[in-house]
Chain A
């Protein structure tokens, strides 16, 4: 055996080593080499070409004692390491044992320059991992140095790092699916872009890297917008906003953008990462929305002008007709017979009806336009004053069963609702004693009001019809009604976000229901 051999001698150098120990006595510096080997925490054993353990260091011995207590000889000098591998407590898992045995055997056979294997060897209380290394002896001797090294901490860290890396990769994959990602240096020069950035901007990665974001500038935003963005991120603050960009083909795209400054050791931004979601479709919808709202305003204004024109231009000639009819009756009374007089009076009454209908149209078109004047309205007080205003005939009693709430609404339209429902109820009472009762209940987010009468009732097939403009149930000449009231009630209640409906039994009476949201 060469003096320069790195091999350790037997564990204690004494004569009680296994019979397989066939090496020459240790060189003179054996003691030092032994001390060196024994000082290592790595467990080291020297095996001959058959795998018989020839010598071990102190760590190997201690480990054997600590872990193989039942049969410490199994890992001691004289034991066959290959057999130990095969089903030993050290290598409890078959696949590892087989691999270890094959690896060490291959090194012994000279077919492998060296062999390494990380394997588990858990104690009942902790997870443990080891690195098995087998290296052949150099020179003419056959055999190998086998070492075991505890690598649990490293192994666990590696596991954690692998898990973290996998997780980060998953997050990045997900982010890349959703967002345009770019990283720039402090001057704004692009150093990284993801595929989505390229796909949306239609520039290739090669065209983008090394340029700044002016390459996608649409010119939509004023200079101050860009300047304020830069001031924010240069201070190390996150900037968020919606940006209009231009793609390579000239098309416009909108991105909801977040720019995060990444701070260097000096706490100054060292790079900026920009994450953008494309919102072009939403922006286009918003634009469309704005345009439609604008058109709606125009339509509303036209409607309001129409109402104005109707009020002036239709009513003026109407008034003329009424006046002339009335003068004919008074000026030519002696020349007209009874029939002539009654026909002229019919003209006057039709003029009055047409005038009421025009007023109804005006009222109907005004609802919703005067929506600005909203204030808290004490419906209880409003209802009582409405009843006073209506002055119900003596045979009709109006009863208020519940106290009505204060709601934020338009006082004029709220009064129109009660006034129309009540005057309808009064008009349709056909019994010597009329009773109208008003109730009000809180139901979830709404107030539920009812106006019930004991009048003639409405047939079910007319329920829809009565809410249509100018539809009345009685012949006009029997009751002078315009057919606007319930249409108005429906429009007002629905504009407020409520519903209106009715129940009715012929001959017994009708109950109108409507709801109003408790908070507008």
Chain B
């Protein structure tokens, strides 16, 4: 991923969205962050040519209207969108959710810690990994 590539955050909780935004700033990530609140909004955003195509999608699972797993199912069936890496960022450590997410070919699964400093650590890991990893065009 390139430093200028956008990150799309699909998250309905405002504080969680603030946390991600704040964390990215704290670790010095320069990638612009776009935020939508559910799966439907995310699909609309991705399919709107006016928006920049993100280099990474950070996805919450439990959201109104279209939840994270439903969103991933659509994205992975869409030839235009399927190459964008999706990392799940969720509260749920339920085995069922983990299995469902990976069987829909997510690129990663992170459980949000309650503790803010730990959250920063996790975001740093995600950023470092995707900045290092070669990504599809």
Q: Which residues of A contact B (CB under 8 A)?
A: 307-308, 311-313, 315-316, 318-320, 322-324, 326-327, 348, 351-352, 355, 362, 370
Contacts and interface: CB of A to CB of B under 8 A. Distances in A.
7 contacts: A308-B92, A308-B96, A312-B90, A312-B91, A322-B114, A323-B19, A323-B119
Interface in B16-44: 16, 18-19, 22
Interface in B101-118: 112-117
Nearest to B120: A326
B16 A320 contact: yes
8 nearest CB pairs, A to B = A320-B15, A326-B116, A355-B114, A312-B62, A315-B91, A323-B116, A319-B114, A323-B19
Given A316-B62, A319-B15, 7 more contacts: A312-B61, A312-B62, A312-B91, A322-B116, A323-B15, A326-B116, A327-B116
Contacts of B95: 370
A327 B22 CA distance: 10
A311 B15 contact: no
Contacts of A316: 13, 16, 62, 91
Interface residues of B, number: 22
A352 B115 CA distance: 7
Given A308-B92, A323-B18, A327-B22, A318 B62 contact: no
B78 interface: no
Q: Identify which of A307, A319, A320, A370 gathers the most chain B CB atoms within 10 Å of its CB.
A: A319
B94 interface: yes
Q: Identify which of B91, B93, B114 gathers the most chain A CB atoms within 10 Å of its CB.
A: B114
A323 to B, nearest CB: 5
A311 B95 CA distance: 12
Nearest to B22: A327
Contacts of A362: 93
Nearest to B23: A323
Contacts of B116: 322-323, 326-327
A370 B95 CA distance: 10
A161 to B, nearest CB: 75
Nearest to A309: B62
Contact of A319 (B61, B92, B93, B112): B112
Interface in B50-90: 61-62, 90
A318 B92 contact: no
Given A308-B94, A320-B13, A326 B114 contact: no
Nearest to B26: A330
A322 B115 contact: yes
Contacts of B90: 312
B18 A311 contact: no
Contacts of A319: 15-16, 19, 91, 112-114
Q: Identify which of B91, B94, B112, B119 gathers the most chain A CB atoms within 10 Å of its CB.
A: B91
A306 to B, nearest CB: 12
A333 to B, nearest CB: 15
Nearest to B94: A308
A319 B56 CA distance: 24
A308 B94 CA distance: 7
Given A315-B91, A316-B16, A352 B117 contact: no
A324 B15 CA distance: 8
Contacts of B117: 326
Nearest to B19: A323
Contact of A351 (B61, B93, B114, B119): B114
Nearest to A315: B91
B89 to A, nearest CB: 12
A315 B112 CA distance: 10
Contacts of A352: 114-115
Q: Identify which of A315, A318, A348, A351 gathers the most chain B CB atoms within 10 Å of its CB.
A: A315
B70 to A, nearest CB: 15
A362 B96 CA distance: 13
A351 B115 CA distance: 8
A354 to B, nearest CB: 8
A361 to B, nearest CB: 13
B91 to A, nearest CB: 5
Nearest to A351: B114
B92 A311 contact: yes
